[in-house]
Structure 1
Amino acid sequence: MEFPKLETERLQLVQITKEHAQSYFNIMSDEKVTKYYGMNPLISIEDAIKMIDSFQKTFEGIKGIRWGMIVKETGDFVGTIGLNNLNIGSKKAEIGYELHPAYWNKGFTTEAVKEVLRYSFDDLDLFRIGAVTYPQNTASNQLLLRIGFKKEGLLRGYIYQNNQSHDAFVFSLLHTEVK
């Protein structure tokens, strides 16, 4: 499968390569970004390169797709968005994303999520997209609800981060619910 390049009004969603490693590291080493991410901040550029390699292996194994978000106007790499736990046969995946704090509250994530949902339902013919968030991650929870996701419930002790287990909300959007 060829890597799908997607586009929104302000963003290009592209394959993440080693050339993006420094920008990715700058985002994922920021504790404000990883606070509700389910993993500890990256410590080194080598950690970023390992993550980028894992994105490629996951894509090659058809288990997920991770795009880099590039602002068209500036060429800046500002975050990633992806489908995790992709199962084409079962017609489902989970969506996840993160964005550099300098770009928060500007609608970039909403724009990217809508395009990845369109691709997931129209091109991959998926039926269900899930999302798992920290209950405290108000911005992400509100974004999902605004787009039409339904909150299904609480997963107790679901995410292990910073040497402790955390509860998580689970959301979903079905293809039949998309307006």
Structure 2
Amino acid sequence: MEFSSMETERLRLIEINQEHKQKIFEIFSKEEVTRYYGIEPFQKIEQAEKMIDSFQKHIQENRAVRWGIVPKDTEELAGTIGLNNLQIWNKRAEIGFDMHPDFWRMGYTSEAVKKILEYSFQQLNLKRVGAITYPENKASNQLLDKLGFQKEGLLRSYINLPEYSQDTCIYSFLKEEWEQR
């Protein structure tokens, strides 16, 4: 798959490369960001470098695609958004996103999700975009509800961490629902 940069009214969705490693480190070293991500906060810049390498590898393998979220007024990497578990042949993927706390509650995530849904259904011709969230992640769950995702249920012990198993909520948005909006 070839990477496509995109724009919305207030955002640029860009390819993430090693030039962004400091910003990725700043985002993922915050406990309030990683709390619902299934990872521990980053301690070393090398963790950001490895994450960026995995973003690029997954694009090359057509398994996932991740964009950097850059508000046009700041030109600063504020977060990331992407399609995980991308299965072009099955016409499905799962959307995931994260944002530095300095950019929370500005509507950027909502704007980026809408653009990725448009790309998913119009460019990739996906039939389904899912989302996996922790039940206690109220902000993400409310965002998905507001955007029209349907909550399908609870996946018990879906994420297994060293100390415990984590239940998750499963949401979906279907292409025909997108077309009816």
- TM-score, structure 1 length as denominator? 0.98
Alpha carbons 1:13, 1:67 under 8 Å: kept:
yes
1:125 aligns with 2:122: no
* Residue identity opposite 1:90 in structure 2: N
Q: How many residues matched?
A: 179
2:143 paired with 1:134: no
Question: Equivalent residue of 2:151, what SS?
Answer: strand
- Following the alignment from structure 1 to structure 2, what is the Cα–Cα distance between the partners of residues 99 and 61? 25
Q: Work out the CA distance in 2 between the residues paired with 1:162 and 1:74.
A: 38
Q: State the Cα deviation string for residues 50-90 of structure 1 (Å, max 9, x = none).
A: 00000000000000100001111111100000000001110
> What amino acid maps onto 2:97 in structure 1?
Y
Distance in 1 (CA, whole Å) between partners of 2:112 and 2:60 is 22
Secondary structure of 1:146 counterpart: helix
Which residue of structure 2 aligns with residue 81 of structure 1? 81
User: CA–CA distance in 2 between the matches of 1:9 and 1:138?
Assistant: 26
SS of residue matched to 1:97? strand
Residue aligned with 1:85, SS = strand
2:25 match: 25
Deviation at 1:161, TM superposition (A): 3.5
Q: Does structure 2 retain, via aligned residues, the 8 Å contact 1:14–1:67?
A: yes
Select between 128-137 and 152-161 the one with higher mean Cα deviation. Answer: 152-161
Alignment check: 8 A CA contact 1:156 1:167 kept: yes
Rounded to whole Å, the distance in 2 between the matches of 1:168 and 1:156 is 7
- The residue aligned with 1:54 is 54
In structure 1, C-alpha distance between the alignment counterparts of 2:18 and 2:113, rounded to whole Å:
23
Q: CA deviation at 1:9?
A: 0.9
User: Aligned partners of 1:44 and 1:120: how far apart in 2?
Assistant: 33
Query: In the alignment, residue 136 of structure 1 is paired with which amino acid?
Result: E
Q: Distance in 1 between matches of 2:83 and 2:143?
A: 17
Cα distance in 1 for partners of 2:70, 2:161 equals 28
Task: Report the Cα distance in structure 1 between the residues aligned to 2:134 and 2:73, rounded to whole angstroms.
Answer: 32
Could you tell me which residue of structure 1 aligns to residue 164 of structure 2? Answer: 164
Instruction: Indicate whether 1:154 and 2:154 are aligned.
Output: yes
Once the two structures are TM-superposed, the CA of residue 162 in structure 1 deviates from its matched residue by 5.8
SS in 1 for 2:89: coil
1:35, 1:120 → 2: CA distance?
27
User: 1:39 maps to what in 2?
Assistant: 39
Gaps (5+ residues) in structure 1? none
Whole-Å Cα distance in 1 between the matches of residues 146 and 161 of structure 2? 27
Give 5+ residue unaligned stretches, structure 2.
none
Residue identity in the other structure for 1:139 = A
SS in 1 for 2:78: strand
